[in-house]
């Protein structure tokens, strides 16, 4: 059996931990540039707000219903996530962190000594007591079914935070009423294909013969079919590894100079390379895009992007930043008021499967990899961007994101520690 522990409205729940007066009130968390709603509580949904709403379009709803707004604070959310994962690791020997708010627990063998529903409810209660973050837990024979169970636990209070799908009867009932497009592994294209083939529910898909599934779908689709039928076959570690990594921002102020754009692109390239190393991967393709403000009809509109393939798949900050800089110089057009830039890494593979090149222009890859790892260690110890590339302009903030409603970093910055007045 597997369990999925999913934090409810995680970003909003983290904010409510440090603002207890917001319990039961509508709360929204905005994107990094305070542009759109990326997370919201059920109370915020009930007043007519939705994920993805541009905040300027729903400003009247926010003001009329006294909705509390926060800017994204990933440092705070990451620190809270680490606390939750540490509790899970104390509760289970095998824990796979799938995302910042989701973790899988391998409970195989635990059923011999524990009632799994009672055991996982105790874990959920412990998380709520120690972090004040509510979680929903799904327990099932496969990870896909466990995700379905967690959705039921989140949407129906009668489950008391834990939904267990441990019989074929429960599995079939759950699949018959669950939304097909909400199944883990069923993306938009797969969903449209299933609808075109006459499949309307997860149960109808699960009941299809194996030969039919193999003839219409590739490996991921077949794996989803197996999981829906109770046969575990998805490697969480492989599934959680990002296939593309993107870092981009809308700027607080529009910029025109190449140097300013270059500082933003190099910063984003360094962030992408850091994420690559964090998941033990390398990338072969580097892409850069820039664009003007689409809401300013009075200005010249310009969007462009470009890509290059590295000679050898890499996670080296210097190599990726240089490639990104060359792309930017080729697509930059003077006289444009730029509002956004971004870097995308693709064709990602594990760093243990690097195809070497006899004519590789970089002769000291091992030394540069150690240099990048040392930079990561120092930045973890002494703070973000303590060690950085010289082209990164940390003093100029006009190209950075707007975060007017960001909470302090209560758990990671000693200057932001909560002060209790007696």
CATH number of the structural domain spanning residue 268: 3.30.1490.100
Indicate the residue among 76, 91, 113 that finishes a domain: 76
pLDDT at 358: 60
**Full domain range(s) for residue 344:** 245-382
Q: Please give the sequence-ordered ranges of beta strands (E in DSSP) within 8-127, or none if there are none.
A: 27-30, 37-40, 68-71, 95-99, 102-106
End-to-end CA distance of the chain: 48
The CATH number given to whatever domain includes residue 18 is: 3.40.1170.60
Query: Do residues 273 and 215 share a domain?
Result: no
Q: What is the mean pLDDT of residues 192-201?
A: 90
- Nearest one of 13, 38, 11 to 23, comparing CA atoms: 13
Cα 46 to Cα 10, 316, 372: the distances in Å are 18, 46, 47
Percent of the chain topping pLDDT 70:
91
Domain count, the chain: 3
**pLDDT at residue 390 above 80?**
no
Shared domain check, 213 and 124: yes
Structure token pair of residue 77: 């959310």
Q: 163 CB contacts (<8 Å, ≥6 apart)? A: 136, 137, 138, 139, 149, 150, 152, 153, 156
Same domain flag for 114 and 17? no
* DSSP output for 188-239: HHHHHHHHHTT--SHHHHHTS-HHHHHHH--HHHHHHHHHHTT-----HHHH
> Of 185, 205, 237, which closes a domain?
237
One domain for residues 214 and 148:
yes
pLDDT tens string 158-188: 888 899 998 999 999 999 999 988 888 888 8
399 pLDDT tier (thresholds 50, 70, 90)? low
Residue 396 pLDDT grade (very low, low, confident, very high; cuts 50, 70, 90) = low
In a domain, 404, yes or no: no
**Do 272 and 202 reside in the same domain of the chain?**
no
pLDDT at residue 301 tops 70: yes
Indicate whether 407 belongs to any domain. no
List the CATH number of the domain containing 164: 3.30.70.270
pLDDT at 135 > cutoff 90: yes
Over 90: is that where the pLDDT of 275 sits? Answer: no
Residue 368 confidence (pLDDT): 77
Closest of 216, 244, 255 to residue 335, by C-alpha? 255
Q: What is the mean pLDDT of residues 317-344?
A: 89
Asked if residue 396 belongs to a domain, the reply is: no
Structure tokens at 302: 């310009």
Evaluate whether residue 3 is within a structural domain: no
Q: Is residue 391 part of a domain?
A: no
Tell whether 422 is covered by a domain: no
Alpha helical stretches, state H, 235-386: 236-240, 258-278, 317-331, 365-382
The strands making up 102-106's β-sheet, listed across from edge to edge, are 95-99, 102-106, 2-7, 135-140, 162-164
How many angstroms separate the CA atoms of 152 and 174, rounded? 9
Torsion-angle region of 161 (φ positive above 0: left; ψ -120 to 50: alpha; else: beta):
left
Say whether both 278 and 231 belong to one domain: no
pLDDT of residue 356: 63
On whether the CB atoms of residues 99 and 6 are closer than 8 A, the answer is no
Once rounded to an integer, what is the mean pLDDT over residues 383-404?
A: 66
Domain co-membership, 88 together with 215: yes
Range 380-391 average pLDDT? 71
Give the residue from 30, 59, 76 where a domain finishes.
76
- Does one domain contain both 373 and 252? yes
Residue 334 sits in the same domain as residue 250: yes
Higher confidence at residue 236 or residue 153?
153
What distance lies between CA 177 and its chain's CA centroid? 27
Return the minimum-mean-pLDDT range out of 112-116, 299-303, 315-319, 355-359: 355-359
pLDDT at 402: 67
Strands (E), 50-201: 68-71, 95-99, 102-106, 135-140, 162-164
pLDDT tens figures, 208-250 = 999 998 998 888 889 889 999 988 887 766 555 557 888 887 7
DSSP letter for 250, please.
Answer: E
**Average pLDDT over the chain, rounded to an integer:** 85
Element (H, E) at 285: strand 281-292
At residue 395, does pLDDT exceed 80? no
pLDDT score, position 394: 53
CA distance 127 to 64: 34
- What pLDDT, on a 0 to 100 scale, did the predictor assign at position 263? 86
**pLDDT above 70: residue 411:** yes
CA–CA separation, 250 vs 264, rounded Å?
11
Domain assignment present for residue 72? The answer is yes
Q: Is there a single domain that holds both residue 218 and residue 138? A: yes
Higher pLDDT, residue 371 or 44: 44
Q: CA nearest 74: which of 38, 42, 41?
A: 38
Give the residue among 47, 54, 40 at the shortest CA–CA distance from 9: 40
The residue with greater pLDDT, 382 or 180, is 180
Strand bridging mode 135-140 / 162-164:
parallel
Residues 270 and 319 reside in one and the same domain:
yes
From CA 93, how far away is CA 86, in angstroms rounded?
11
Q: Is the pLDDT of residue 87 over 90?
A: yes
Domain annotation covers residue 420: no
Instruction: Tell me: do 83 and 229 sit in the same domain.
Output: yes
């Amino acid at each position: 059996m597997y369990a999925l522990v999913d934090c409810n409205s995680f970003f909003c729940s983290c904010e409510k931990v440090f603002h207890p007066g917001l319990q039961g009130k509508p709360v929204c968390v905005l994107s990094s540039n305070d542009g759109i709603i990326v997370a919201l509580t059920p109370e915020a949904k009930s007043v007519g707000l939705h994920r993805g709403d541009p905040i300027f379009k729903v400003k009247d709803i926010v003001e009329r219903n006294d909705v509390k707004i926060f800017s994204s604070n990933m440092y705070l959310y990451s620190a809270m996530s680490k606390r939750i994962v540490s509790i899970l690791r104390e509760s289970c020997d095998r824990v796979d962190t799938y995302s910042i708010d989701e973790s899988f627990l391998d409970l195989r063998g635990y059923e011999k000594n524990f009632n799994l529903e009672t055991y996982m409810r105790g874990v959920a209660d412990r998380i709520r007591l120690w972090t004040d973050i509510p979680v929903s837990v799904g327990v099932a024979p496969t990870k896909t079914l466990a995700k379905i169970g967690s959705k039921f636990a989140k949407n129906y209070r009668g489950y008391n935070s834990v939904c267990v799908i441990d019989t074929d009867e429960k599995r079939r009932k759950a699949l018959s009423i669950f939304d097909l497009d909400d199944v883990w592994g069923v993306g938009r294209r797969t969903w449209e294909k299933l609808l075109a083939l006459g499949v309307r529910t997860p149960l109808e898909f699960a009941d299809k013969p194996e030969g039919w599934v193999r003839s219409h779908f590739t490996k991921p689709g077949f794996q989803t079919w197996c999981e829906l039928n109770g046969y575990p076959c998805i490697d969480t570690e492989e599934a959680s590894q990002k296939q593309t990594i993107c870092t981009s921002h809308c700027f607080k102020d529009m910029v025109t100079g190449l140097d300013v754009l270059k500082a933003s692109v190099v910063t984003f390239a360094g962030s992408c390379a850091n994420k690559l190393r964090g998941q033990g991967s390398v990338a072969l393709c580097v892409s850069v895009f820039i664009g003007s403000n689409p809401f300013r009809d009075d200005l010249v509109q310009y969007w462009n992007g470009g890509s290059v393939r590295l000679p050898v798949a890499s996670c080296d900050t210097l190599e990726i930043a240089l490639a990104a800089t060359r792309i930017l110089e080729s697509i930059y057009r003077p006289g444009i008021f730029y509002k956004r830039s971004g870097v995308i890494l693709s064709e990602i593979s594990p760093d243990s499967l690097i195809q070497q090149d006899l004519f590789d222009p970089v002769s000291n890859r091992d030394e540069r990899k150690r240099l990048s790892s040392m930079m990561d260690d120092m930045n973890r110890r002494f703070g973000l961007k303590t060690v950085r590339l010289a082209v990164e302009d940390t003093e100029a903030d006009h190209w950075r994101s707007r975060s007017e409603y960001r909470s302090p970093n209560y758990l990671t910055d000693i200057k932001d520690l909560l002060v209790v007045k007696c």
